[in-house]
Amino acid sequence: MKVLVINAGSSSIKYQLYDMPQANVLAKGSVERIGEEASKLSQTCGDKTLTKEGHVADHEEAMAMILEALVSDQGGAIKSLAEIESVGHRVVHGGEEFTGSTLIDEAVIASVEKFCDLAPLHNPHNLVGIRAAMHKLPNANQVACFDTAFHATIPEVAYMYALPYELYETYRIRRYGFHGTSHRYVARRAAELLAMGKYDVNVITVHLGNGCSMAAVSQGRSVDTSMGLTPLEGLVMGTRTGDFDPAILFYLADKGYDIKQLNTLCNKKSGLLGISGKSNDMRNLGKLAAQGDTRAQLAIDIFCYRVRKYIGTYAAVLDGVHAVVFTGGIGENSPEVRAKICGGLTSLGIDVDAGRNRGMIGSEGNVSTDTSRAAVLVIPTNEEQAIAKDTYAIVSGTEQ
């Protein structure tokens, strides 16, 4: 079965075509800068590459361009669109309603629409991608895979905020958590690497990319996570604050900041960018710090310190930790960040081997010492593969 995985953002659609159940990638690509003058499609299929430039007005046009590229004589992967039996969509917010991936029908679309005000930067674009795919591939099964779903097992004691209870009853204000597809993928993969059952492992999963989050996974199920009602809470991120005293907002409101400015400040101007004043990108900050830029160094130090604090918290939440798992662009590729986070955690049973850690860049393996109580695993995440597998499982009626 050919499964097309779609990740639709505000100005881009990323996609991968899978042959299931083997999970072979037949083609992958993206359309970037949708709505701008110079939009661009790039696709790779084996050793063939395909690029197309020009104005792409909206997601509907982008989807048409993608489908054309997939069946193209030059660099395409399939002969006919009828070969695409199913489409798996990444959807960021599934509220309390979706505890797993699901076949999309009008009721599911209405729910995703309902959660747009909880994820205004993501759900509307995910929906546009779903509608475009339904329109262009009317005979394909459409499946939604929610970033929030893996965290549906978080208990009330961890998901409730200490706000008046009516706010939960009226607005469903609570912790939802995100990056769930990534946390689930690496937790399952960690169980395989540790030769344990997927519902036997206790792991702390650390997803460090442009967005960053952690999860405490007890016996294969998420029991706490660092992101909250929105993806703003928790770790320091590229441009987001993570945890901070909400009274800072009242203070700034008193000084004349309006809601829009505060929103931009917290989501777009803070984090690594805000502290360093230079960049949201860890690679750049590493270079700047090496040249003696003290603010870049401070940004890296605060970033690592926050992760370290959460590891301690989640070690307290879990009854024993089999592994700490690093993933995401930073977690997979930066031995320096991993070393800074884990240094001096031997009292928690976490001991990184310097040589193994240095050698693990963009690949999968254990970087802990032989005597470390917990393994320290680096696992490149693969959310697209997880979505393809869920989609295949739902459509074929096999276990997810």
Tell the smallest beta-carbon distance from residue 399 to ligand AMP (Å).
29
Residue from 88, 220, 231, 329 in contact with ligand AMP (CB under 6 A): 329
DSSP symbols for 60-117? HHHHHHHHHHHT-TTT-S-S-GGGEEEEEEEES--TTT-SS-EE--HHHHHHHHHGGG
CB 26 within 8 A of CB 2: yes
378 is a contact residue toward ligand AMP (CB under 6 A): no
Residue whose CB is less far from ligand AMP, 133 or 212: 212
Tell the smallest beta-carbon distance from residue 210 to ligand AMP (Å).
4
| C-alpha atoms less than 13 angstroms from C-alpha of 312 in its C-beta half-sphere | 12
Per-residue contact flags (x/-) with ligand AMP for residues 222 to 251, judged by CB under 6 A: ----------------x-------------
Residue nearest to ligand AMP (CB): 329
Q: How many chain residues interact with ligand AMP (CB under 6 A)?
A: 12
Residue whose CB is less far from ligand AMP, 334 or 357: 334
- How far apart CA 183 and CA 278 sit, in angstroms, is 30
Per-residue contact flags (x/-) with ligand AMP for residues 262 to 291, judged by CB under 6 A: -------------------xxx--x-----
Tell the smallest beta-carbon distance from residue 237 to ligand AMP (Å).
9
Residue whose CB is less far from ligand AMP, 95 or 328: 328
209 is a contact residue toward ligand AMP (CB under 6 A): yes
334 is a contact residue toward ligand AMP (CB under 6 A): yes
Tell the smallest beta-carbon distance from residue 27 to ligand AMP (Å).
20
Query: Token match 């850690």: residue?
Result: 357
What's the Rg (C-alpha) of the chain?
A: 21
Main-chain phi, psi angles of 352, to 5 degrees: -90, 135
Residue whose CB is less far from ligand AMP, 95 or 211: 211
Query: Token match 């884990």: residue?
Result: 342
Residue whose CB is less far from ligand AMP, 11 or 346: 11
Of 70, 53, 94, 54, whose CA–CA distance to 6 is shortest? 70
CB 273 within 8 A of CB 279: yes
Per-residue contact flags (x/-) with ligand AMP for residues 146 to 185, judged by CB under 6 A: ----------------------------------------
Tell the smallest beta-carbon distance from residue 296 to ligand AMP (Å).
12
210 is a contact residue toward ligand AMP (CB under 6 A): yes
Residue from 330, 345, 348, 350 in contact with ligand AMP (CB under 6 A): 330
| Residue 147 is a catalytic residue | yes
The active-site residue, picked from 117, 147, 258, 293, is 147
Tell the smallest beta-carbon distance from residue 359 to ligand AMP (Å).
13
Residue whose CB is less far from ligand AMP, 114 or 268: 268
68 is a contact residue toward ligand AMP (CB under 6 A): no
CA angle 110, 12, 227 (to 5 degrees): 65
Q: Which residues contact 306 (CB under 8 A, 6 or more apart)?
A: 235, 236, 242, 243
Tokens of 353: 């081997």
Residue whose CB is less far from ligand AMP, 126 or 218: 126
Tell the smallest beta-carbon distance from residue 243 to ligand AMP (Å).
19
Tell the smallest beta-carbon distance from residue 189 to ligand AMP (Å).
16
- How far apart CA 119 and CA 228 sit, in angstroms, is 11
DSSP symbols for 215-243? EEEETTEEEEES--SSTTSSS--SS---S
Residue from 9, 88, 231, 328 in contact with ligand AMP (CB under 6 A): 328
Q: Which stretch binds ligand AMP (CB under 6 A): 64-72, 75-83, 168-176, 323-331?
A: 323-331
Buried (b) or exposed (e) across 28-59, using 16+ Cβ within 10 A?
bbbbbebeeeebbbebebeeeebebeeebeeb
- How far apart CA 380 and CA 331 sit, in angstroms, is 8
- How far apart CA 275 and CA 278 sit, in angstroms, is 8
Q: Which stretch binds ligand AMP (CB under 6 A): 322-330, 345-353, 372-380, 385-393?
A: 322-330
Cross-sheet strand order for the sheet of 365-366: 221-225, 212-218, 203-208, 323-327, 375-378, 365-366
Q: 155: which DSSP letter?
A: -
Binding stretches for ligand AMP (CB under 6 A): 209-210, 238, 281-283, 286, 328-330, 333-334
Catalytic residues: 147
